[in-house]
Amino acid sequence: MWGRKDKKQRPEAGAQPLSGAIDLHAHILPGKDDGAENAEEVAGILRAARSSGYLLVAATPHVMAEGVLKERVDILQALEELKSDPALGDLAPMLVPGAEYYMDEAFFSALERGDLLPLGGVGRRHVLVEVSMMGMPNFMPDAAFKMRVKGWTPVLAHPERYMEVTERPERMSELKEMGYLLQGNLSSLAGAHGRHVRRALEAGLKQGLIDYLASDAHSPRGGERAYNEGIDYARGIVGDKELRRLLIEFPSGILAEQ
């Protein structure tokens, strides 16, 4: 729920989103991830995205040692199977590949092999990563350095959700200094994780520390809230020009790289 203080900051709903947005974080591989349960739910997320002006949505399943998906070839195969499902119809071309890597032993092995799947697919260089929400490991600076030495650009997913950052939003500056780009969640701005997480992301946006925003959608309802309430809230914080950079220009640059 929106708290009393948050209502004062919440922008008027109903403002039209900018056309041409790109979502580079969503959990939409049924049976392979913890998000959409079937192709019909994926279609629901994509319809919500398209109605809000989105052109593309990246399937970024969790990749970890204990997860279902571990190799990039398996992610790409699962995505192609999803795109061929009749339930998606003309929504299928909206899907692009990606992954959200938990930085564990499996991740560092893939890093050494050069077997990571970047946002947008093979040939790009930005890799979405995450760590434990409860405490950032000491290897964070070293991990960013190793990734950059090997030619990858590390993008830390939803920094506002990590406990240390939620409590001290200024830590986002430290993460940037380590070499991470920062991807904030529209779902956080829509209130999915509570007011403290929302306020942490708001602080990062006001300081210009967030490189782009994405939905982190796990369901049609979650996607709808992110693409509507989340975008409306972001617009009230940064205005249309910066919103365009966060939703269109920066994500487009990631997909354009070769």
What would the pLDDT profile of 80-115 be if each residue is shown by its tens digit?
A: 999 999 999 999 999 999 999 999 999 999 999 999
Q: What is the mean pLDDT of residues 236-244?
A: 97
Q: What is the mean pLDDT of residues 122-148?
A: 97
| pLDDT at 230 (0 to 100) | 98
For the chain, give the percent of residues with pLDDT over 90.
90
| Domain boundaries of the chain, sorted by first residue | 20-256
Residue 199 clears pLDDT 90, i.e. is over it: yes
Tell me the HSE value of 71 on the side-chain side, using a 13 A CA sphere.
Answer: 4
Q: What is the mean pLDDT of residues 58-86?
A: 93
More confident residue, 14 or 195: 195
pTM, rounded to two decimals: 0.93
For the chain, give the percent of residues with pLDDT over 70.
93
Q: What is the mean pLDDT of residues 202-211?
A: 98
Architecture in CATH for domain 20-256 = Alpha-Beta Barrel (3.20)
| pLDDT at 10 (0 to 100) | 46
More confident residue, 199 or 2: 199
The pLDDT-based confidence of 71 (bands split at 50, 70, 90) is confident
Query: Are 169 and 204 within 8 A, CB to CB?
Result: yes
Residue 258 clears pLDDT 70, i.e. is over it: no
Residue type at 93? P
Q: What are phi and psi of 36, to 5 degrees?
A: -55, 135
Residue 26 clears pLDDT 60, i.e. is over it: yes
Mean pLDDT score across all residues of the chain = 93
Q: Which of 11, 41, 83, 48 is nearest to 225 (CA)?
A: 48
- Cα–Cα distance, 70 to 53 (Å, whole number): 32
